[in-house]
Amino acid sequence: MKYILIGICLLLAACGESELVGDEIYGAQHEAVDVIPVEAVLAEPQHYTDNEIAVAGTVHEVCQMEGCWLMLRGLETGEGLRVHVERTETGEYAFTVPMDINGRYAVAVGILTTPEVEEEAHYQEDAPGVVPLLSMVATGVRISPEESI
C-alpha cells in the first residue's frame, strides 16, 4: 500500500498536479513545478546543483529543536539531502516544519548545493553520523499526510 501511495504521488507530480488533498504546505507554494525524485538527484547531482528544483523523498529526520531542517531520502537508499528552511532578511526562519513527520512523503523546492564542512558540523549535534551529499535551502515544503515507509 505504501508503495502504491508513493507511485500515485510521483505520477501526479509528473503530470503537473500541484498538491494532493490533505497535503500540508509550509513556506511558499509552488505551482506546476516538475518534481524530481531524490534518487535521481543523488545519481546525477551535477545536473541539479546550484539550480532551483523540487525534490521528492521520504522524511527521515527533522530538527528536534525548531523544525528548521529535515533530511530527505529515497526508499531504497541511505543517502539523502538536508533541506534547510529559508531565512528572512532579519535572520528569522521563514517557516518551520513539524518535528513529527518522519516517514512521510515530502517535496521541497529550493536551491540545491554541496554542504560546507563547517556548516555541517552544526547539524551533527542533532543527527550524528548523518552526512548528506547535498543540501538545499527551501522556499517551500509540501508534506503528505500519509507515511511512505
Segment 68-92, tens digit of pLDDT: 999 999 877 777 889 999 999 999 9
Instruction: Report which of 78, 76, 28 is spatially closest to residue 54, judged by C-alpha positions.
Output: 28
CATH number (domain holding residue 55): 2.40.50.140
Give the CA distances from residue 9 to residues 4, 128, 132, in Å, rounded to whole numbers and listed in that order.
Answer: 9, 31, 24
CA 138 to chain centre: 8
Q: What is the pTM of this model?
A: 0.76
* Number of structural domains in the chain: 1
Segment 23-48, tens digit of pLDDT: 899 999 877 678 999 999 989 988 99
Structural domain boundaries enclosing 113: 2-147
